[in-house]
Structures are given as C-alpha cells and as structure tokens.
Amino acid sequence: MKKRYSAVFAILLILLTVAPVFGQAAKKQLTFLFMPGVQDPFYTTMEKGVRAKCKELGVNLIVAEYPKAWGPEYQVPILQAYAQRGGFDGLLIAPTSVDALKAPLKAIYDKGVEIITVDTFLGDGDYSKPNTDYNFPLSYIGSDNYLGGKMIAEHLAKLVGEKGKVFCEATNPDASSVAARVKGFRDGIAQFPNMKLVGVEWCLDVQQKAQEQTLAALQKDKDIVGIFGTNVFSAQGANQAVVNAGLVGAIKIASWDATITNIENLKKGVIDLVLAQKPGEMGSLGVEWLYKYLTQKVQVPKKVIPGFEFFTKDNVNDPNMQQYIYQ
Ligand code: T6T
C-alpha cells in the first residue's frame, strides 16, 4: 500500500516539474518586423519604443533597412525582400502611400502575418469598414493629424494677430499623415476671415526642395506673415529659407516634429511653435497590441491615438517637456 502511494507521489512530482517546461516549449517565440517610412529622427525614435517593448515582452525583432527617401518606390522593394525571407509573425509598418501599399501588404497578410500600421494608414484609415481593399490591418496607431493641423492654424493665427497671408510647406499628398495636416491647416485658417492661405507646396520630403519652394513663395508674396512646415524635412527646409531671406522674426513659424534642429531653432527665436508627436509611444503600443492579439486573441481597437504636445519659447526648457524631443 505504502509502495503504491509513493509511486503515485513520484508520478505527480514528475508531472508538476515537467508540465511548465512543456508549456514553455509549446509557447512559440514571436518575431516582429518593423518597417519605417524613411530615415529620419521621427522613425529612429519610434524604433526605440519598438525595441524596448519587444525586449520587455520577449519578442524577437527584425528592423528593416530604412528607406533612403520617402515613397513606395523606395519602401516596397525593401518590404518585399523581407517578406520573401519570411520568419516574422507580426508587422509594424508606416505605409508611405495610402494606395500603393495596399496590395503588397495584403500579400503579406495573406501569408498569415498580422499587421498594424503606425504613423500612417491605408485608404482613409478606417479599418472597421467592411468591403474595402484596406481593412485587413488590425489597427492604425498614430497622431490625429487633421486635429494637429487645425490647432497649428489657430496658434499661428493668434501669433500674427488673426490677419495676413500664410504659406504651407508639405511633403507628399499621397501620405495620409501630411495630407491630413494640410487639410486641418487649411480648414483652421479658413475660420479667420482676414487670413489667407496663399500656397501649399509639396517637396516630396526633400529638404533642399522645401527650402527652394519656400524661398520662391516668399519672393512671390512679400507680405507673408506665417509659415507652417508639416514635417521634419519640409519644416527644416522652410525655416532655412526664412533665415536665408533675412526674415527671422518678421515671419511667425510653426513646425511639425520635435527634432533637435527644430527645438534649437525655437530656442534661437527662428521658429515660434513646434508640435511634438509621440513616436516612441506609437512604436511601443504597436508592439503591445500585436503581442496581445497574437498571444491572447484580444480585440484590438481599430484606432489608437497617442496625442501630441506643443513646444513654445515658454516651455522649451521645462524639464517635463524634454522627453518629447526626438532622439
Ligand atoms: O512627420 C513624420 C511622420 O509623422 C510623417 O508621416 C512623415 O514625416 C515624418 O517622419 C517626419 O519626417
């Protein structure tokens, strides 16, 4: 009798020791691919958020080669090379075009990869709509770009006394983020009867082109009082044009994206307002939701909006604000 008890006890002990090991072996280690939009400080900051969250959750991370310039012609070949190699369960990507990325991403999704778009989206970004060719990503995680553009218009209007001509330097109408910023800015300025948006230029994310286009706008309309630069390269190019034209102080400038260069220019008084997105948080949330979906099948919200912050000369040295400068 005693012998039988000790045999049962021994079997139980073995099961208790071995079961968790089997459990762990059964739990597959996940691998995610991160595909940024372009080589710039916004996406390198996002990568830091992605890396930290992957490390915390024990997810393998592959960071795709950064496209050298903005656009599907640069991004899609890189993406397809990684897709061909395979070996990832989830994809975090900033699509550089609302249309051109639909088919390449659908092909990856059809191979069983779950996708979250970060910063930019496909189509109109509403992934809950049935019967579309772009509703397969789990979620869009990024800024409310329309709201940001509108708020910038309102801030800029205050800075110029709600009257005068303003100009907008943008990148590419095919990028959901920047297109929405321009739309919000246009609608925001339209609220002020004594203000006029005299031009919107698209530099295709080339800083030198942004500088030339802004200079041309300043020569055409000599009474421009405000400028909005809608992302890193368009803003930095537009700001340089104002410096070169000797118009610092005479023109109020709002710049999107808190790069070190933009923050330094704010401190020097070249620009007046900087909108800081939260790229690190976008990346971190992207990893977290992919992980939760793949491990627990939780329902992922179709849109997650981390929000943004405004830097002005009054808060630029505030210790609490330093975390929002891109790294
Ligand atoms: O402004 C960001 C990003 O939000 C946009 O989609 C593309 O440009 C940046 O990466 C800045 O260069």
Give residue-wise pLDDT tens across range 88-110: 999 999 999 999 999 999 999 99
Question: How close is the Cα of 110 to the center of ligand 1, in Å?
Answer: 28
**Residue with the two structure tokens 């993406």:** 79
C-alpha 34 – ligand 1 centre gap (Å): 16
| Predicted pLDDT of residue 107 | 98
Angle at 140 between CA 138 and CA 142, to 5 degrees: 150
Whether pLDDT at 3 is above 90 = no
Percent of the chain scored above 70 by pLDDT? 92
If pLDDT is split at 50, 70 and 90, which confidence band does 8 have? Answer: very low
- Structural contact between residues 59 and 32, judged by C-beta atoms closer than 8 angstroms: yes
Q: Which atom of ligand 1 is the closest one to the Cα of 94?
A: 6
> In Å, how far are 94, 126, 176, 273 from 71, measured between CA atoms?
11, 22, 12, 28
- Per residue in 185-227, pLDDT (tens digit) is 999 999 999 999 999 999 999 999 999 999 999 999 999 999 9
Domain ranges of the chain: 29-143+278-306, 145-276
Please tell me the predicted confidence (pLDDT) of residue 75. Answer: 98
Quick check: 84 pLDDT over 60? yes
Tell me which residue of 58, 55, 137 sits closest to 98, measured CA to CA: 137
Q: What is the pLDDT of residue 26?
A: 52
SS3 state at 100: coil
**Which atom of ligand 1 lies nearest, measured to the CA of 233?**
12
Question: Which atom of ligand 1 lies closest to the CA of 175?
Answer: 6
Which pLDDT score, from 0 to 100, does residue 306 have? 97
pLDDT confidence tier of residue 6, bands split at 50, 70 and 90:
low
Q: Among 42, 141, 171, 236, which residue has the most ligand 1 atoms within 8 Å of its CB, making it the best to mutate?
A: 42
DSSP letters spanning 16-55 = HHHHHHHHHHHSPPPEEEEE-SSSSHHHHHHHHHHHHHHH
Helices (H), the chain: 2-26, 41-57, 72-85, 102-110, 145-159, 176-190, 207-220, 232-244, 260-268, 279-296
Which one-letter DSSP state was computed for residue 251? B
* Average pLDDT of span 293-312: 98
The values of phi and psi at residue 178, to 5°, are -70, -40
Q: How far is the CA of 325 from the centre of ligand 1 (A)?
A: 14
Which atom of ligand 1 is found nearest the CA of 42? 10
Backbone angles phi, psi at 62, to 5 degrees: -115, 125
Alpha carbon 176 to its chain centroid, in Å, reads 10
**Average pLDDT value over all residues in the chain:** 94
Contact 69, 208 (CB under 8 A): no
Q: What burial class does residue 318 get, using C-beta atoms within 10 Å of its C-beta: 0-12 exposed, 13-18 middle, 19+ buried?
A: exposed
Q: For tokens 């082109």, what's the residue?
A: 209
CA 232 to ligand 1 centroid distance, Å? 6
Counting from 1 in the atom list of ligand 1, the atom nearest the Cα of 256 is 1
Ligand 1, CB within 6 Å, residue ranges: 37, 40, 42-43, 119-120, 175, 177-178, 231-233, 256-257, 277
8 Å CB contact between 67 and 96 = yes
Q: What distances in angstroms separate CA 250 from CA 95, 170, 224, one per listed residue?
A: 37, 21, 9
Which CATH number is 145-276 given? 3.40.50.2300
**Tokens 């916004």 map to which residue?**
42
The pLDDT assigned to 1 comes to 45
**What does the alpha-carbon distance between residue 128 and residue 132 come to, in Å, rounded to a whole number?**
9
In this prediction, residue 28 carries a pLDDT of 84
Mutational pocket test of ligand 1: of 70, 178, 230, 305, the residue with most ligand atoms within 8 Å of the beta carbon = 178
- Residues facing residue 310 across a β-bridge: 275
For ligand 1, pick from 35, 38, 39, 40 the residue to mutate: most ligand atoms within 8 Å of CB.
Answer: 40
Which numeric CATH code is attached to 29-143+278-306?
Answer: 3.40.50.2300
What is the 21 CA–ligand 1 centroid distance (Å)? 45
| Res. 9: pLDDT tops 50 | no
120 CA: nearest ligand 1 atom: 6
pLDDT digits 0-9 by tens, 113-142: 999 999 999 999 999 999 999 999 999 999
Most ligand 1 atoms within 8 A of CB, residue of 101, 206, 232 to mutate: 232
DSSP annotation of 311: E
Residue 15 has pLDDT above 50, yes or no: no
Shared fold status for 29-143+278-306 and 145-276 = yes
